[in-house]
Amino acid sequence: MADSIPLNPVRKNSKKIAYYNATRSARYQSEDETSNLDEMPLMMSEEGFENEESDYHTLPRARLSQRRRGLGWFLCGGWKVLCGSCCDCIFHFCRRKKELKARTVWLGCPEKCEEKHPKNAIKNQKYNIFTFMPGVLYQQFKFFLNLYFLVVACSQFVPSLKIGFLYTYWAPLGFVLAVTMMREAVDEMRRYRRDKEMNSQLYGKLTVRGKVQVKSSDIQVGDLIIVEKNQRIPADMIFLRTSEKTGACFIRTDQLDGETDWKLKVAVACTQRLPSLGDLFSINAYVYAQRPQLDIHSFEGNFTREDCDPAIHESLSIENTLWASTVVASGTVIGVVIYTGKETRSVLNTSQSKNKVGLLDLELNRLTKALFLAQVVLSVVMVALQGFLGPWFRNLFRFVVLFSYIIPISLRVNLDMGKSAYGWMIMKDENIPGTVVRTSTIPEELGRLVYLLTDKTGTLTQNEMIFKRLHLGTVSYGTDTMDEIQNHIIQSYAQPSSGGGNSNCGTSGSGSGSGSAPSCGKAQQPSAPKVRKSVSSRIHEAVKAIALCHNVTPVYESRAGANGETEAAEADQDYSDDNRTYQASSPDEVALVRWTESVGLTLVNRDLTSLQLKTPSGQILTYFILQIFPFTSESKRMGIIVREEATGEITFYMKGADVAMASIVQYNDWLEEECGNMAREGLRTLVVAKKSLSEEQYQDFESRYTHAKLSLHDRALKVCAVVESLEREMELLCLTGVEDQLQADVRPTLELLRNAGIKIWMLTGDKLETATCIAKSSHLVSRSQDIHVFKPVSNRGEAHLELNAFRRKHDCALVISGDSLEVCLRYYEHEFVELACQCPAVVCCRCSPTQKAQIVRLLQQHTNNRTCAIGDGGNDVSMIQAADCGIGIEGKEGKQASLAADFSITQFKHIGRLLMVHGRNSYKRSAALGQFVMHRGMIISTMQAVFSSIFYFASVPLYQGFLMVGYATIYTMFPVFSLVLDQDVKPDMALLYPELYKDLTKGRSLSFKTFLIWVLISVYQGGILMYGALLLFESEFVHVVAISFTALVLTELLMVALTVRTWHWLMVVAEFFSLGCYLASLAFLNEYFDLGFITTKAFLWKVSAITVVSCLPLYIIKYLKRKFSPPSYSKLSS
């Protein structure tokens, strides 16, 4: 990182920075401890950290407000800022949001709600029947170009300002508006139909009179709603009952958090125990729910039943919730609605879609303003040369209208038609099948991208885990040696039963250590070598630990019961392998359980209190689940305490990340090295350990654990401390390696994008270890590159120290968690973004959907570069909508991201061709098309200026009526528009040399430099055409019109040929068709031309001479430039 980037304080501290050095946390001490604060002074008040929240608004950007604001500031744009601020204040006052509050919800009694809650309706429409017309017109006329044409067209209703015919002004403007309105109306109708379909879905509502059907949009807070299997949950609910006997069910959350794995949800115990559904109305109970918030991974609430003595109180957590937009995967659920509509988690995490405007459109808008300024200056010069005689102000406005062709209205028409053509070409490209262009207004953005922000799960990876490696310390097993493990397992479980002895000898829990199974083997086969028995014992213990330590539940296909309801197959009825699927919140765990099944130890059943394993011989082993400690991002590990039914032995199993487990397991000399080796292979590693507990030890632990869970203060800390008392000197069993398979051609695609100068940021909701692993395996981070893992920070001081440590790293990738990112952005936004933007790659893990969108907006604000976001899940929608260009992948996680995106693709690898080929072509073509249309307007305005200056500065049009309409349409439209078929580089060459893409991001194809070149060309050609015609005409003025107009049309056709880089047969057809149309129309233009004169040789040689003089020098200059200073792409093509 550049050491020159200072982290500036907002206010100077009178006290020495050593104050903080004395109080900072010990874990942030580093080798450069003394230099930390000298390099980067903190933004601190004198009181230190106590005031850090109140100092929130004194961020670095606040320094901007300290600039002096005087009359100069007001005149140079300050009035815009003030007007904008006033409008924002009025807007926010009119649309001020109601404060979200915690609530008490009575079961089945919506009328008891103290406050009015929003309607449970999905609304994605931009307009309604009243706002459609004003809204669309505002979106059109907020652009200077369209507003300018409107003013000019309206001026023609004033008789003294009228020049030419009304239709020459209103017809093009009306056409543009009609096309835009039709397109918006079609899009709005589609959104309306989608919303109506979702809002009209029927659900069962439980009432005192029984079950009734209710529309999704009519659901209220307090309603008891029944949701069937595979049905979408319509609102945020608390899970009360399920048809599943276990009292739990699975839900699919792919449209909420992007994870395809099913989540286990648990019903409230009090309501699940009720004999029947109707009893929900016989009890007097309510739910206290926290206020609606963004976090989809946490919830705090209480369930209270008051009609019994004593009253029943149950705490509610995230496992008792059913969020809207998730889908019930097993059984039927009944829940009480707590949040509806705009207050649901899914809506709170979805940002409003914005009307995206391409950078090229903004650049053209700036150029049109420059042209308008030139037009006004030219008009003022004309009036000044007249001597400001008579009603000079009216003459000034007539000149403005007369030169209005400097800014041609056909510019908007041609660009819009060109965008539609690019979209059609993208969708017809056979190399990227299934690609859909949903926003036709920004295809040029694909050629201007600097930052690509990508999701991980389902975008870079297939989200399919495969078990690859088992390491026991002295021996390692890969995919080609798994049969050896299978033989060991078969041997371990087969020997006791074949001897007819104790059937549990080979499977005795884990209480007897690692020798119980092999001890039987030792009696049976005394001749077996000792080392073999040791390895067999360790393999058996490792496989059993993996088969027991998880949160996986086997699910069996439902079958119809006698009463017509569906019920899951009972454990003792159908354990066939082809009927079983595994579900868990983590695909890693499913991969591990599938692997234990492949080697002979199969998980066949699980409920809240027990799980059952099937041995290779078909024997069922039952283990009672005493405690489960789920995985959290803080602990980075999960544990389970089980009691084996047959022996009563209690074992504590634990697995987790190596960083968390290294200090927990007994001393060893191989774990760290092997974890590094597996990580370099791109494998996700888990360390597995165990500890045997006596009955006394467990009872002591259970009493302390229960007491900690009931405490009202610092509950989490106390629970964590009790669990950590067990996590000491655990026996290390094995190290596992699982691979998350990447999407096809992800590595070459990422390399292609990097070579194109695109910086790639990976934003994922997944764990830090997983994200880092995928970044390495996908080569987002190269093997030689260092990775700086940003330590967890919770306050300004810690963020300061970590940023200092990060600053000293050079050319390293950054990995940061969402929580740490939030703290950094709160206090050091500008500095953090500036440092992060210098990294070759950035990985943000544990990101919420809103954080993803926030990162996109930060890059837009701080870098002013174009951003692209790509994802495949509902949790990526906010990011996709916030980016300048959003790309959705239609995959396993549904179509939500695809439908919300500007472009939809089927595979990640297609993004390479989409950007390198179509992005390049769209930008280059639009830039050429836009400038050529401007040239077409400027050349005729130059001729008008020359004409007026010669004829005593009269505000009289040179060409009238159909000549002007024909010039802008039938005579030149087809050749000019054929530029959308031009290409400077062949697609294969663009993909072979992605470095060519870097030039596009600099915006050299359309800049003030290229614009000025076209202005000079227009002035030169316009002057030659007009002066030449005036010089060569002999008798009548009508000959001037004929000579100049014919030469003008021929010049435009030749200029198109000069601009084209790669000829297409349609271009040739367009050239000859336009020429034919002009020649054919001469017979009908007797009102403007002398038909007798245009058939003479004099006419032909005069037109030819003027045309050659206007075009030949430009052809010579182009030839010399390509010979002595060719562009980079021409070097490659040659």
List phi, psi (to 5°) of 105: -115, 115
Strand-by-strand arrangement of the 476-477 sheet: 476-477, 461-471, 731-742, 684-693, 650-656, 637-644, 620-629, 610-614, 602-606
Distances in Å between the alpha carbon of 178 and those of 137, 417, 419? 11, 13, 17
Identity of residue 511 = G
Q: How far is 981 from 725, CA to CA, in rounded Å?
A: 72
Compute the C-alpha angle 350/354/358, nearest 5°.
135
For every residue of 856-904, DSSP letters joined together read: HHHHHHHH--EEEEEE-SGGGHHHHHHSSEEEEE-BTTBSHHHHHSSEE
For residue 699, how many other CB atoms are within 10 A of its CB? 12
Eight-class DSSP state of 447? G
Q: Would you say 541 and 510 are in contact if contact means Cβ atoms under 8 Å apart?
A: yes
Instruction: Name which of 313, 314, 332, 310 is nearest 322 in CA terms.
Output: 332
Tokens 């020359």 map to which residue?
A: 946
Q: Which of 223, 261, 361, 455 is catalytic?
A: 455
The DSSP call for residue 980 is: G
Measure CA 929 to chain center.
Answer: 31
Q: In whole angstroms, what is the distance from residue 372 CA to residue 407 CA?
A: 7
Bridge partner residues of 328 (DSSP): 251
Residue 1068 neighbours by CB under 8 Å, 6+ apart: none
Task: Please name the amino acid found at residue 856.
Answer: V
Q: At what angle do helices 359-386 and 1008-1032 cross, to 10 degrees?
A: 40
984 is catalytic: no
| Two structure tokens written together for 1089 | 């031309």
Q: How far apart are CA 924 and CA 916, in angstroms?
A: 12
* Cβ-Cβ contacts under 8 Å for 759 (sequence gap 6 or more): 450, 451, 452, 837, 839, 840, 841, 842
Q: Distance (Å, rounded) from C-alpha 343 to C-alpha 936?
A: 54
At 76, list the tokens: 């140079």
**Residue 25: Cβ within 10 Å count:** 11
CA distance 1122 to 313: 83
Measured CA to CA, the distance from residue 903 to residue 444 in angstroms comes to 12
Question: How many Cβ atoms from other residues are within 10 Å of residue 476's Cβ?
Answer: 16
Q: Would you call 493 helix, strand, or coil by DSSP?
A: helix
Q: How many beta carbons lie within 10 A of that of residue 634, not counting itself?
A: 11
Peptide bond into 310 cis (omega under 30): yes
Q: Which segments of 251-350 does DSSP mark as H helices, in order?
A: 254-257, 269-272, 345-348
CA atoms within 13 A on the CB side of 585: 15
Question: For residue 762, what is the enclosing H or E element?
Answer: strand 759-763
386, 953 Cβ separation under 8 angstroms: yes
Using DSSP, state whether 393 is helix, strand or coil.
helix
DSSP SS3 for 472: coil
Q: Which of 406, 402, 365, 404 is nearest to 934 (CA)?
A: 406
Torsion on CA atoms 1103, 1105, 1108, 1111, rounded to nearest 10: -60
Give dist(CA 2, CA 807) in Å, integer. 7
For the annotated catalytic residues, the residue numbers are 455
